[in-house]
Amino acid sequence: MHHLVANVPLIILAAGQSTRMGFPKGLIEIDGKKLISSHLEHFWKCGGQKIIVVLGDSFAQYFPLLQALERKNDIVTIINDKIKLGPFYSIQLALKALDPLTPGAFIRPIDSAPLSSDVYSLLTSNSLMLQKKVSIPTSSDGKGGHPILLNRLFIQQLLIIDPGHSSYRLDFQIRHLPLNEISRVSCDDPSITTNLNTPDDLVTKK
């Protein structure tokens, strides 16, 4: 369902300080390719179009790579200068940049492993998916992974949450949703639950 994926932008969260990795996680090299490049190219291969990348203090290290991409005009970069507010602030910055009529948005952290299958089309395999506030790829053992799909109604709700709120996190907001507003989509791609947070994770992945 590439035509549905094309209407839904991808938000990549890359503003973290990567203290455990020791350098920007998006610049990790896997199979001869930078991690952020793998995420971008896979989304485009699956029929995706617009991508919003939220960067933090290490933005200058990403810019040369992003500017060298053939489809650089399909990328919007946003700088989060308040990274102490956490990743949810990055999400809000990106959501504010969306067209109000956008049907939804995919969210994925930069440190999620490269996908080996078209999870984007899986999440949009039925237009009814976008009637659910969130769709989550889920492994056979019940673990939710990334990317996740937010619909427009949920996006509007997330935009009005104040940074001082006790539930100023996306996982908290999802947890508060009624079960009938969440779609858990079975997915056999092991990458959806694999994160690359430390050098040890990187060695294991390689």
Q: Which of 3-12, 94-103, 124-133 has the lowest mean pLDDT?
A: 124-133
Phi-psi region of 128 (alpha: psi -120 to 50; beta: other; left: phi over 0): alpha
Tokens matching residue 169: 């996190």
Mean pLDDT, the chain, rounded, equals 90
**What pLDDT is attached to residue 31?**
87
DSSP alpha helix (H) spans, 68-185? 87-96, 119-123, 152-159, 170-175
pLDDT at 127: 64
How high is the pLDDT of residue 16?
A: 83
CA 31 to CA 74: how far, in whole Å? Answer: 24
* pLDDT for residue 65: 93
Q: Confidence band (pLDDT; 50, 70, 90) for 191?
A: very high
Provide the terminal-to-terminal Cα distance of the chain, rounded to the nearest Å: 31
Q: Tens digit of pLDDT for each residue in 22-64?
A: 678 899 898 899 999 999 999 999 999 999 999 999 999 999 9
- Say yes or no to pLDDT of 175 above 80: yes
Angle between helices 87-96 and 152-159 (to 10 degrees): 120
62 contact partners, CB below 8 Å, separation of at least 6 = 14, 24, 26, 27, 36, 53, 55, 77
- pLDDT tier at 205, thresholds 50, 70, 90: low
> pLDDT value at position 18?
61
pLDDT of residue 43: 97
Summarize the confidence of residues 12-27 as an average pLDDT: 79
Domains, in order of start, for the chain = 2-205 (3.90.550.10)
Asked if residues 121 and 185 have their Cβ atoms less than 8 Å apart, the reply is: no
Looking up tokens 């990187």 gives 202
192 pLDDT more than 50: yes
Closest residue by Cα to residue 38 from 27, 22, 49: 27
User: Where does the pLDDT of residue 203 fall: very low under 50, low under 70, confident under 90, or very high at 90 and above?
Assistant: very low
pLDDT of 189 strictly over 50: yes
pLDDT at 138: 97
